């Protein structure tokens, strides 16, 4: 099984035209036909599909709620997380850039290029399926309901299993309208991400995702 065959299994999509996937994984330092045009297409598709998905999933919520949710899903952080979790660095062709120097933007751009490639290869239905199953499902949110104290439960897990629990944060927006993206690392491995208007909410959601991945809760 070739490397790209393994990657396609991870992506959940098999390309009819494998050159589209190869192009999505090619930096301009290697060839003129690089990922950038596919990234441009994928960025637009991601924004559209996520917006439509949120309106269908949360029909009773406000436009502001959908806007904040969309901003978190299309943010470079969860996209870069997908890049790292699926070891896309092993398939990405580049020169004169060390793996450690790859920016969050470049990692997220590559994922968007793959989305663009899937669209070119299989159409909107295939691209939508990938986005909903691989991207939208990565983050969990609340619509204002009470959030359980998953963070304390995660720290309890860390104490019991001698695991190091670390929360890291990113902020977006103006001072009067900030949004927060939190992600939690367990022994240096990122296991969960969350988004909220308050850091404490984002932390709790990230902790819940981590607990689910650790099989501590269902």
pLDDT tens digits along 163-209 = 888 888 888 777 777 788 888 999 988 898 888 878 888 888 888 88
pLDDT of 81 over the 90 cut: no
Integer Cα distance of 201 and 11 in angstroms: 30
Integer Cα distance of 150 and 185 in angstroms: 14
Which active-site residues does the annotation give?
Answer: 43, 112
Who contacts 197 (Cβ-Cβ below 8 Å, separation ≥6)? 68, 178, 179, 180
pLDDT of 69 over the 80 cut: no
**Domain topology for 3-138:** Ribonuclease iii, N-terminal Endonuclease Domain; Chain A (1.10.1520)
User: Which one has a higher pLDDT value, 2 or 54?
Assistant: 54
Provide φ and ψ at 141, rounded to 5°.
Answer: -135, 170
pLDDT of 138 over the 70 cut: no
Q: Over pLDDT 90: what percentage of the chain?
A: 34
The CATH architecture annotation of domain 150-213 reads 2-Layer Sandwich (3.30)
Integer Cα distance of 118 and 20 in angstroms: 8
Domain residues of the chain, as ranges? Answer: 3-138, 150-213
Provide φ and ψ at 196, rounded to 5°.
Answer: -170, 165
pLDDT value for 146: 41
Which of left, alpha, beta for 87 (phi over 0: left; psi -120 to 50: alpha)?
left
| pLDDT average, residue stretch 21-36 | 92
Q: Over pLDDT 70: what percentage of the chain?
A: 90
């Amino acid at each position: 099984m070739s490397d790209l065959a393994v990657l396609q299994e991870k992506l959940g999509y098999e390309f009819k035209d494998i050159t589209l996937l190869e192009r999505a994984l090619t930096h301009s330092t290697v060839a003129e036909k690089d990922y950038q045009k596919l990234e441009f297409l994928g960025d637009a598709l991601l924004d559209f599909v996520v917006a439509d998905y949120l309106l269908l999933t949360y029909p009773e919520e406000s436009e502001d709620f959908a806007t904040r949710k969309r901003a978190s899903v299309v943010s470079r952080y969860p996209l870069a997380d997908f890049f790292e979790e699926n070891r896309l660095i092993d398939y990405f062709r580049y020169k004169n850039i060390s793996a450690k120097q790859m920016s969050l933007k470049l990692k997220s751009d590559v994922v968007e290029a793959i989305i663009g490639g899937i669209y070119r290869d299989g159409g909107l239905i295939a691209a939508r399926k990938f986005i909903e199953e691989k991207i939208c499902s990565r983050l969990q949110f609340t619509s204002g309901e009470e959030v359980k104290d998953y963070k304390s439960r995660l720290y309890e897990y860390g104490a019991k299993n001698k695991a190091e629990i670390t929360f890291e944060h990113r902020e977006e927006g103006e001072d009067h309208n900030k949004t927060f993206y939190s992600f939690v690392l367990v022994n240096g491995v990122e296991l969960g991400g969350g988004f909220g208007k308050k850091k404490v909410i984002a932390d709790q959601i990230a902790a819940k995702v981590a607990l689910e991945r650790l099989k501590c809760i269902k």
